[in-house]
Amino acid sequence: MTTTHRTMAHTARPIAPEVLRSLRATDDAGRPMAPFTDEEGGAPLRCCLRRSEPGEAIALVSYAPLRRWAAETGARPGAYDEQGPVFVHAEPCPGPSGTALPFAQAHRVLRRYSSDGRILGGRLVNPSDGTETPCEAVFETAFAEAFADPEVALVHVRAVEYGCFLYEVRRP
Asked if residue 127 and residue 84 are part of one domain, the reply reads: no
Split the chain (172 residues) into runs of 10 and give each run's mean pLDDT: 54 93 97 97 95 97 96 92 96 86 84 95 80 73 94 94 90 82
Is residue 114 included in any domain, yes or no?
Answer: yes
Asked if residue 126 and residue 77 are part of one domain, the reply reads: no
Asked if residue 141 and residue 75 are part of one domain, the reply reads: no
Asked if residue 82 and residue 42 are part of one domain, the reply reads: yes
Report pLDDT for 102. Answer: 86
Asked if residue 48 and residue 21 are part of one domain, the reply reads: yes
Please give the tally of structural domains in the chain. Answer: 2
What pTM was computed for the model?
Answer: 0.88
Report pLDDT for 16. Answer: 94
Report pLDDT for 130. Answer: 59
Residue type, 109: V
Is residue 99 included in any domain, yes or no?
Answer: no
Is residue 45 included in any domain, yes or no?
Answer: yes
Which one of 56, 89, 122 terminates a domain? 89
Helix (H, G, I), strand (E, B) or coil at 143: helix
Report pLDDT for 2. Answer: 46
Asked if residue 57 and residue 17 are part of one domain, the reply reads: yes
Asked if residue 116 and residue 155 are part of one domain, the reply reads: yes
Asked if residue 73 and residue 132 are part of one domain, the reply reads: no
Instruction: Please report, for residues 11, 91, 149, 165, 172, the alpha-carbon distance to residue 144 in angstroms, rounded to integers and kept in the order given.
Output: 12, 35, 9, 20, 10
Asked if residue 79 and residue 14 are part of one domain, the reply reads: yes
DSSP label of 26 = B
Domain containing 158 equals 108-170
Asked if residue 12 and residue 82 are part of one domain, the reply reads: yes
Is residue 113 included in any domain, yes or no?
Answer: yes
Is residue 28 included in any domain, yes or no?
Answer: yes
Alpha helices in the chain (DSSP H): 17-25, 65-73, 135-148
Is residue 97 included in any domain, yes or no?
Answer: no
Is residue 96 included in any domain, yes or no?
Answer: no
Which one of 59, 89, 119 terminates a domain? 89
